[in-house]
């Protein structure tokens, strides 16, 4: 997985990401990396000390991605738990089962950039393009 396939994009009053990947698993991992990089200066410094099992459903890949990132954001907001890595046990276009691994936010080490209030459907794209998956997600800040 390469960060060259992840781009932070600007949007009037919001921010977002665009990601490209060879499959859904990689696309969702890159979207998680983009979410973390939007919020924290050094999210890679979180110590992995805890696991959380999740099962997410959606009507299509777009809704699945929004629901996945929203779940990650809920853990961050409610438990100060930042997801550093994800292991997908199963993923298809309408459902995923995964193990989230991460730890508690330490702003002294990680640095804070901005708060994300929500994952939006505005200009949302998740689609196959020329044999690759592409996603654009706008975050409400």
Model confidence pLDDT, tens digit, residues 67-106: 999 999 999 999 999 999 999 999 999 999 999 999 999 9
Token readout for 36 is: 């973390």
User: Looking at residue 7, what is its pLDDT?
Assistant: 83
The stretches in the chain having pLDDT less than 50 are none
* CB count in 10 Å sphere of residue 49: 11
User: Are the C-beta atoms of residues 137 and 65 closer than 8 Å to each other?
Assistant: yes
User: Looking at residue 9, what is its pLDDT?
Assistant: 76
Rounded Cα–Cα distance for residues 10 and 134 (Å): 17
Please state the pTM of the whole predicted model.
0.92
CA distances from 107 to 42, 73, 94, 104 (A): 9, 16, 35, 10
CA distances from 49 to 14, 84, 85, 90, 103 (A): 32, 10, 11, 23, 5
User: Looking at residue 77, what is its pLDDT?
Assistant: 96
CB neighbour class for 92 (10 Å; exposed up to 12, middle 13-18, buried from 19): exposed
| Three-state DSSP class for residue 61 | helix
Residue 73, φ and ψ in degrees, nearest 5:
-65, -35
Q: How many residues does the chain have?
A: 141
Instruction: Name the CATH architecture for the domain at 3-140.
Output: 3-Layer(bab) Sandwich (3.55)
CA distances from 10 to 73, 101, 106, 112, 130 (A): 20, 29, 26, 18, 25
């Amino acid at each position: 997985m390469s960060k060259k396939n992840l781009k932070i994009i600007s949007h009037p009053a919001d921010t977002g990401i665009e990601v490209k990947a060879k499959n859904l698993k990689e696309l969702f991992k890159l979207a998680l990396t983009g979410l973390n990089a939007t919020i924290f200066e050094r999210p890679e410094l979180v110590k992995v000390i805890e696991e959380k099992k999740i099962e997410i459903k959606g009507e299509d890949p777009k809704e699945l991605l929004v629901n996945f990132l929203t779940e990650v954001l809920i853990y961050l907001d409610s438990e100060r738990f930042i997801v550093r890595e994800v292991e997908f046990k199963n993923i298809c276009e309408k459902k995923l089962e995964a193990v989230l691994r991460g730890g508690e936010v330490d702003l002294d080490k990680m640095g804070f950039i901005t708060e994300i209030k929500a994952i939006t459907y505005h200009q949302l794209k998740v689609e196959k393009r020329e044999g690759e998956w592409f996603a654009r997600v706008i975050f409400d800040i």
